[in-house]
Amino acid sequence: MARGGLNKRSLIHLIIYMYHHIKKLMYTVRVGKPDPAFGNMLLEQFGGANGELAAAMQYSIQGLNCDDPERKDLLLDIGTEELSHLEVVGTLARMHLKPIKNNRDAAFADPLIAIAGGGGVALMNSMGDAWTADYLKITGELDVDLRSNIAAEARAKIVYERLIAYTDDQGTIDTLQFLMSREITHLKAFTAALESMGKPKFSIGTIPPTAELVNQYFNDSTGVGDRGEPDARGPWNEGGDWEFVHAPAFQEFESAQAGSRATNSGLQLAETAGSSGAPKSNGKTAKTDLNSRPRLNH
């Protein structure tokens, strides 16, 4: 058994709360030909809004705040892996930015890194904006945080995909493919963790939404645009328990207290006047024509 009164379990807990750096990259980075402009783009994943430091800090601090021991472990596992990603992407960026140090032409790719940073990476995005804790989404509500994390992983994935499209260097592509794949791993884990909490899909927090209001879809953007942009219907506003409210600004309250609107309280709307903005002449009198800017007594 353990020394100093520590049993095996508390030793494991000590390990969870301790950082230890091992001088070994999570993925071996190889670069054929440095490309300083691409190195600048890579900074987006180093010190950018959807980058690795943001991910590492978001999950680690969420984990620190988490009272659910199992999901806390998940958050700390992935938060720590993101720090390893930061090291990998930072190493990759540094290899691409290296020529900036001594080459004036290369320095144009990122004058800030060249002049202020001496060719080394800094916690900035590709435009030189300093990393900020404002990037982090930490609410202290586990299921809400997990949703933020799922979205963050999706953003990180798409940024890696775009970076891959902008390089021909095979070693660079291999590294980015590794990092991109891990973001999908995280997306899967966060999604499973959220689902395993067993909360109904649209249940957030404790106060239920107002019953009359919650299923009303407000069609607040109406008409057909110049390029034929439709007034669309789909599963996001029809079927199920959806109640479609056409142009709620022109409708009476159904319940002033609930804030719900009458679905179509006697108003006939001329929606098909088209791009000319002229009222449709169809023999009927349209009481309200959204394209002809009706005067309302409000």
Annotated catalytic sites, by residue?
A: 52, 82, 85, 153, 183, 186
Q: What's the token pair of residue 166?
A: 């902008």
* Residue type for position 217: Y
Residue 136 C-beta: closest distance to Mn ion, Å = 14
**Closest among 128, 120, 127 to 98, alpha carbons compared:** 120
In the three-class reduction of DSSP (H, G, I as helix; E, B as strand; rest coil), residue 167 is classed as coil
Taking CB under 5 A as the binding criterion, the range among 82-90, 205-213, 243-251, 281-289 that sits at the site for Mn ion is 82-90
Residue 112 C-beta: closest distance to Mn ion, Å = 24
CA 233 to chain centre: 26
Residue 191 C-beta: closest distance to Mn ion, Å = 12
Which of 54/107 has CB closer to Mn ion? 54
Q: Kind and range of the H or E element at 127? A: none
Footprint of Mn ion on 174-213 (CB under 5 A): 183, 186
Query: Is 85 near Mn ion (CB under 5 A)?
Result: yes
Taking CB under 5 A as the binding criterion, the range among 85-93, 133-141, 263-271, 286-294 that sits at the site for Mn ion is 85-93
Footprint of Mn ion on 38-57 (CB under 5 A): 52
Residue 115 C-beta: closest distance to Mn ion, Å = 29
Strand ranges (E), the chain: 216-219, 243-246, 253-255, 260-261
Which of 62/216 has CB closer to Mn ion? 62
Q: Using only the alpha carbons of the chain, give its radius of gyration.
A: 27
* Residue type for position 278: A
Q: Contact letters (x/-) for Mn ion, 264-293, by CB under 5 A?
A: ------------------------------
- Which residue do the tokens 């299923």 mark? 215
Instruction: Tell me whether strands 260-261 and 253-255 are parallel, antiparallel or unpaired.
Output: antiparallel
The residues of the shown chain that bind Mn ion, judged by CB under 5 A, are 52, 82, 85, 183, 186
